[in-house]
Structure 1
């Protein structure tokens, strides 16, 4: 009986729990292949933490690059739109300027017709005039002479009364295309008021010793600085006047050139105008 009581007392006693196991400091990863081959490697706690930090940092860098790239693309698109808007505005301003110039020329023509009455004049023979004046007689209304411009010099024209004039010649640099943009006003001053058609050239003449060759627009072979194929010129057909535009390509330094010559030919090949402009006076930076 005593043994039975002792056994019951011992069985009724509650066993105290043992100490909890500590958290593992590393893990073992097992990889089992299809053929039963087992590969194991251990991952320590610092290694897992380092891998987590690296992955997080990599994702952060990738996200930053993507956001930055999208921001740059949006800014670039916005700049392109602004550039297109400015370009369109510049072209519109150029058209308005040309229209204003045309209106000004019309008003000048009306003012000249109002102030000057038509008169018939007879020119004397060449023998009675100083050298350089016209010798043939001509009867008919005489158009008013164009206003002299200090930056222009007329070299040679075809015999007979002047029929065309070149005015307001300008040159400006186009850095994007490595070229020069030029423009001038071509006016019909034919005494009989006939419509004139023909071709124009602009030739840029280099400085001596600059190593440059003459530049022509439109391109044509040159002989003694003059175009040899007048049919290749820029066509025109005017009764009063027009603004002519041109582009001289392959010009990187304007200071290597001294003068620009405008040639105006009739459809028959006759040289109507040969006018020289000093580059440093007509160049617009």
Structure 2
């Protein structure tokens, strides 16, 4: 099994298979800090990104095991042979224990101390009981009424219940706008720039940090993102209406980082604002 003990060598092995060159020290280090579960998950993403099917991946792992197994067995045999050949040290007999001196005073056992302590406590308890039983009552003391004020239950405070966030009524227009958002997410995952631009208004006012972007600027922005990542997917998408023609999208965005060669997941919270023609006129990240 590929795990944290052999991942550096296996990544180097795969890199030779893919590029006929060793992997960089930085790439090996990034893999070495992952846990065994993360390594198993990230390897599947790496196989998919490099076009390696499951069967080929298993064959690569088996080939890697066969390559490193002779080295491991030879390394283990050498210390075992050296241990067998090494001369065994002669054992010197230990001196006999000293004779027990029955005449010497011995320390009292803990049980004896415990029994004495119990007897003393019982004697004190008996003396106290005898004293309290034969003591005459003091007639000068007056009976005191119980203080009921301290024992009365405290009044329950009435707390106001926080009003729940109102659910905005949705219309057919809202359903159409939500459908446009889903179409945009699918177009982004398939990298269809034409379908992406079709979801935006020609008079776009804001795209994230770009104000009044042109279609050329939007195309350049998407191309730049695609050059740095692959296999982008929106998981567990949830849309919520937050105002007139305004919707918040919550999702887990998963992608493969080309720079780090690992799959990453980030929490996405994006707002979309539509015009009256069911086109997105604003979209930006909600912090």
TM-score grouping bracket, smaller chain normalisation? under 0.3
Q: Per chain length, whose mean CA-contact separation is higher, i.e. which structure has more relative contact order (CA < 8 Å, sep 6+)?
A: 1
Bigger fraction of residues in strand? 1
**TM-score in terms of structure 1 length:** 0.23
Structure whose alpha-carbon radius of gyration is higher: 1
Q: Which structure's residues are more often helix, by fraction?
A: 2
* Normalised TM-score (structure 2): 0.23
